[in-house]
Amino acid sequence: AIFGAICLASRLSSPFHAFVLLEVAAVYFALGPILLAKIRSVPLLVATVGVCCYLLLQLSMTIFWTYMCVLAFVNGFCPLLFVRLQRHKNNIHGPWDEAIVSDFREENGSASSI
C-alpha cells in the first residue's frame, strides 16, 4: 500500500501534496493496524453499537431497524453464507497458476535411469 501511495505521489503537482499523501498513507497503512490492535476490544464494540442504536432510536425507528437489519445481514448472514458455500467452490487451473515441478524419477518410471 505504501508503494502504491509512492506511485500516486509521483503524479501530484507539488512536493507538498506528495508529502501529505505519503504522510496519510503512512498513518493509515503502517500505524493504523497497530492502533486498531490496541483498541480492539469487545466492551468498546458493545458500547459503540449501543450508543449508535440509542441515537438512531432517538432519530427514527425506521432508520434504527434498517441499521439493525444491515448489521445482522453483514455480520451474521453473509459469513454464514460464505462458510456454507465453501463446499461448492471450484478450483480452476490455468496458465496463471504456479508451475508444478515434477520429479525426474517419476517421469522416467524408475530411479535407476539417473
pLDDT band at 41 (very low <50, low <70, confident <90, very high): confident
Is 78 within the bounds of a domain? Answer: yes
Is 15 within the bounds of a domain? Answer: yes
Domain that holds residue 5: 1-40
The pTM of the full predicted model, rounded to 2 decimals, is: 0.50
Is 97 within the bounds of a domain? Answer: no
Given phi > 0 = left and psi -120 to 50 = alpha, else beta, which region is 109? left
Whether the per-residue pLDDT at 73 is higher than 90: the answer is: yes
Q: Which residue has the cell 441499521?
A: 67
Is 54 within the bounds of a domain? Answer: yes
Residues 9, 18 contacting (CB under 8 angstroms): yes
Tally of structural domains, the chain: 2
Share of the chain above pLDDT 90, in %: 41
* 32 or 47, which is more confident: 47
Query: From the CB of residue 37, how many other CB atoms can be counted at a distance below 10 Å?
Result: 8
State the helix-helix crossing angle for 15-26 and 2-9, rounded to 10 degrees.
Answer: 170
Q: Give residue 66's pLDDT.
A: 96
Q: Do 13 and 33 belong together in one domain?
A: yes
